[in-house]
Amino acid sequence: MKINNHFLFSNNNQQVPFKNTPNKGKKFVGLQYLVMHYTAVTKAAGSISWFMDKNAEASAHLLIDRDGSITQFAPFDTITWHAGKSQLNGLIGLNQYSIGIELVNGGRLKKVDNQFVCPVDQKIVNSNDVVFAKHKNETEPSFWHNYTIQQIEVATEIAALLVKTYGLKDVVGHDDIAPFRKSDPGPAFAMTSFRAKAMGRKDETIDNYSTTTAVNIRKGPGTDFLTVTDALPTNTKVVVLKREGNWSFVEVVGKVHGLNDVEGWVSSKFLSK
């Protein structure tokens, strides 16, 4: 992809679909960050309509759907209204300092009987797309809508392009700049790995390990959770993104069983440096 005059173009030199939101401000004078969000709904159409409604007083620069398709709402040199009350490193009100990307994702889900429901649009989420995890700013685990491989691949490419083009200092989540108010992009989003890839550097907080035997990789930290894919083979390289008790949430390095960007929980005792 490339950026031309602050608009995003695909690899075939076609401008991505653009909808000119009325909910925007002046040109940036202190752009420094990229902020990642989830929409809290499961379909793109609702968010697009919301960003085009001037009464909503909300917008972002980009929306990435679950199939990886992109909609742009404002040029990258223009302030949008995605951060609300927020602060970071002495800056107050991150709208005027950051580009915002929204990922279509239902966020925190409710379990109703044996189904998982998005509280905002009331849509049922397939159990295979649900992660049970604890948010970094909370003490109890919840059910969360997982992101798709297509979304993460597209978001990573765009984030790296934005960082390079605009010299951004860092990539953060909405939950980093408004921790008492917001929970997006949440624990289903591998922020540590995403940030490192977007910034084009190895994050020193990342721990690299290999599996010591064939080991199941699961949707949550425990044997009661379903597996993400077939067992990881011995000597599979993984990056530990976080730990919970005797379990580690890992990202597989490279491809496994024909899949890219595999993430999930494995028993820590089967990992070695």
Annotation says 263 is catalytic? no
| Dihedral angle, C-alpha 160, 202, 220, 125, nearest 10 ° | 0
CA angle 231, 140, 207 (to 5 degrees): 45
Whether 43 contacts 123, CB under 8 Å: yes
Rounded CA-CA distance 38/175 in Å is: 11
The active-site residue out of 57, 102, 138, 153 is 102
Dihedrals φ, ψ of 128, to 5°?
A: -70, -15
- The helix-helix angle for 149-166 and 191-199 (nearest 10°) equals 40
Half-sphere exposure in the Cβ direction for 152 (13 Å, CA): 19
Could you give the CA distance from residue 32 to residue 83 in angstroms, rounded to a whole number?
14
Residue 152 CA, distance from chain mean position: 7
What are the helix and strand counts (H, E) for the chain? 4, 21
- 212 close to 237: Cβ distance less than 8 angstroms: no
Return the closest-CA partner of residue 187 out of 201, 199, 175: 175
Would you call 58 helix, strand, or coil by DSSP? Answer: coil
Catalytically annotated residues: 102
